[in-house]
Amino acid sequence: SDSYSLLILPGDGIGPEVMTEVVKVIDWLQANRGLSFDISHGLVGGSSYDAHGTPLTDETMAKAQAVDAVLLGAVGGPKYDDLDFSVKPERGLLRLRKDMDLYANLRPAQCFDALADFSSLKRDVVAGLDILIVRELTSGVYFGEPRGIHADNNSDNEGGRVGINTQRYTSGEIRRVARSAFELARRRNNKVCSMEKANVMESGILWREEVQWVRDNEYPEVELTHMYADNGLMQLVRKPGQFDVILTDNLFGDLLSDAAAMLTGSLGMLPSASLGKPMANGRPKALYEPVHGSAPDIAGQGKANPIACILSFAMALRFSFDQGAAADALERAVEKVLADGVRTADLMGPEGGTPVSTSEMGDRIVAALAQA
215 is in an annotated binding site: no
Could you say which DSSP state residue 5 is in? Answer: E
> Which residue of 23, 79, 90, 360 would you call a contact of ligand IPM, by CB under 6 A?
90
Name which of ligand IPM, Mn ion, ligand NAD, none residue 294 binds, using a CB cut-off of 5 to 8 Å depending on partner kind: ligand NAD
Number of residues that bind ligand IPM (CB under 6 A): 7
- What residues from 206 to 265 belong to the interface with Mn ion (CB under 5 A)? 254
Return the number of the residue (15 or 362) whose C-beta is nearest Mn ion. Answer: 15
88 is in an annotated binding site: yes
Examine residue 94 and tell whether it contacts ligand IPM (CB under 6 A).
Answer: yes
Strand segments (E) across 1-154: 3-11, 36-41, 69-74, 104-110, 130-136, 144-151
Strand segments (E) across the chain: 3-11, 36-41, 69-74, 104-110, 130-136, 144-151, 161-166, 191-196, 223-228, 245-248, 273-278, 284-288
Name which of Mn ion, ligand IPM, ligand NAD, none residue 224 binds, using a CB cut-off of 5 to 8 Å depending on partner kind: none
- Tally of residues, the chain: 372
User: Within 13 Å, how many C-alpha atoms sit on residue 361's CB side?
Assistant: 34
Distance CA 105, CA 319 (A): 12
Name which of ligand NAD, ligand IPM, Mn ion, none residue 267 binds, using a CB cut-off of 5 to 8 Å depending on partner kind: ligand NAD
Distance CA 357, CA 336 (A): 17
The shares of helix, strand and coil residues in the chain, as percent rounded to the nearest 5, are 45, 20, 35
Return the number of the residue (229 or 366) whose C-beta is nearest ligand IPM. Answer: 229
Return the number of the residue (240 or 293) whose C-beta is nearest ligand NAD. Answer: 293
Whether residue 271 contacts residue 132, with contact meaning beta carbons closer than 8 Å, is answered with no
Examine residue 93 and tell whether it contacts ligand IPM (CB under 6 A).
Answer: yes
Q: Residues annotated as binding site for Mg(2+)?
A: 230, 254, 258
- Residues in touch with Mn ion (CB under 5 A): 254
Q: Residues annotated as binding site for substrate?
A: 97, 107, 135, 230
- Residues in touch with ligand IPM (CB under 6 A): 76, 90, 93-94, 254, 291, 293
